Amino acid sequence: MTAYDAVVLAGGAAKRLGGVDKPAVQVGGRALLDRVLAACAAAGTTVVVAPPRSTSRPVVWAREDPPGGGPLAALAAGVEALERAEALRARGEPVRERADAVRGQAADPLVLVLSADLPFLADSTVGLLLGALEAAGTPVDGALFTDAGGRDQPLVAVYRRSALRRGLDRLYAEHDGFTGLPLRLLTTGLALTRVSEPEDSRAAFDCDTWEDIAEARARIREHERVLDEWITAVKDELGLDLDVDTALLLDLARDAAHGVARPAAPLTTFLVGYAAARAGGGPEAVAEAGRKAVALAARWADEDRPDGDQARADRPAADRPAADQPDVDRPGQKPAAE
């Protein structure tokens, strides 16, 4: 993926939510801010413009001046924080950020700009924006999402940092500051390419009211989404950065429940995870432990079928477990026929 930095605007009064700390409101057991941070986890430096709080990964904190000065003031504070972080790195001084993140080496870094209330934002959305800007070439200053209604979403966008700096400097000179200025004063002066929101992605859906929060919470519990949402929430809660084959584990749990006993499903999946951890962890270790347990569950279920032995005999040799396969010659051993 193309290298980029990120600025997440997480301030604001949240008046339509009664003044609550909106970035901390949970959807699917995860704070809205953490959901956004997960979507831009590949950023070299991530700046969050808000009062510091606990987050799922390290970030650089910044505040607009004055606090509550509006989105343009917050964006300016975020860009300035990125520039300070770059200067610190150039001098070899530490910057509080992900040590393993991708760092851009481009002369004109890209800046992903997001609001902190996007529950359905995903890394695929980030990839679409970066790809659109890369395809458009240097004459274009940025790429932004347009929602299903065709409305521009300047807080679901990626910009060239030089373009942001030029626009911010111009507006500051014209208005003697940023307080209360809307973002559109900046974006209307930029050459932007627009990316239509993919059907049913809801990536630009933001949570301004309690009705929006309720809709987001209901949506993630829909049948086709709930499992992925739950697994992601568990990994986030446990501090796990691991992609697993959920289909394999689900098949294993089904086979253990049906072929052995219902309680065998959670116990077996736990043991698979434990075995994978002892083998060093990682997707390959999970997959290997899962395959072994699936094969065991199949053998167990076969034994309970009247035709189980015949079914196993009819199975191609490559598909049978090692215990079912014919003896083979080993070094120092005579052939079985002798």
Q: What is the pLDDT of residues 312-333, one digit of tens each?
A: 455 554 444 444 433 333 334 4
Question: What backbone phi and psi angles, to 5 degrees, belong to 153?
Answer: -125, 85
Question: What backbone phi and psi angles, to 5 degrees, belong to 126?
Answer: -60, -45
Residue 310's Cβ-count burial label (10 Å; 0-12, 13-18, 19+) is exposed
Q: Is the pLDDT of residue 294 over 70?
A: yes
Task: Identify the helix (H) or strand (E) that includes residue 193.
Answer: strand 192-196
pLDDT of residue 7: 98
pLDDT of residue 96: 58
Cβ proximity of 120 and 153 under 8 Å: no
Write the CB contacts of 69 (distance below 8 Å, at least 6 apart in sequence).
177, 178, 179, 180
pLDDT of residue 156: 96
Assign 201 a pLDDT band (cuts: 50, 70, 90): confident
- The secondary structure of residue 154, as a DSSP letter, is E
Proportion of the chain above pLDDT 70, given as a percent: 83
3-state DSSP helix/strand/coil % of the chain, to nearest 5:
45, 10, 40
Q: Do strands 5-9 and 110-115 pair parallel, antiparallel, or not at all (unpaired)?
A: parallel
CA dihedral 190, 195, 196, 202 (to 10 degrees): -100
Q: Is the pLDDT of residue 92 over 80?
A: no
pLDDT of residue 323: 40
Cβ proximity of 203 and 112 under 8 Å: no
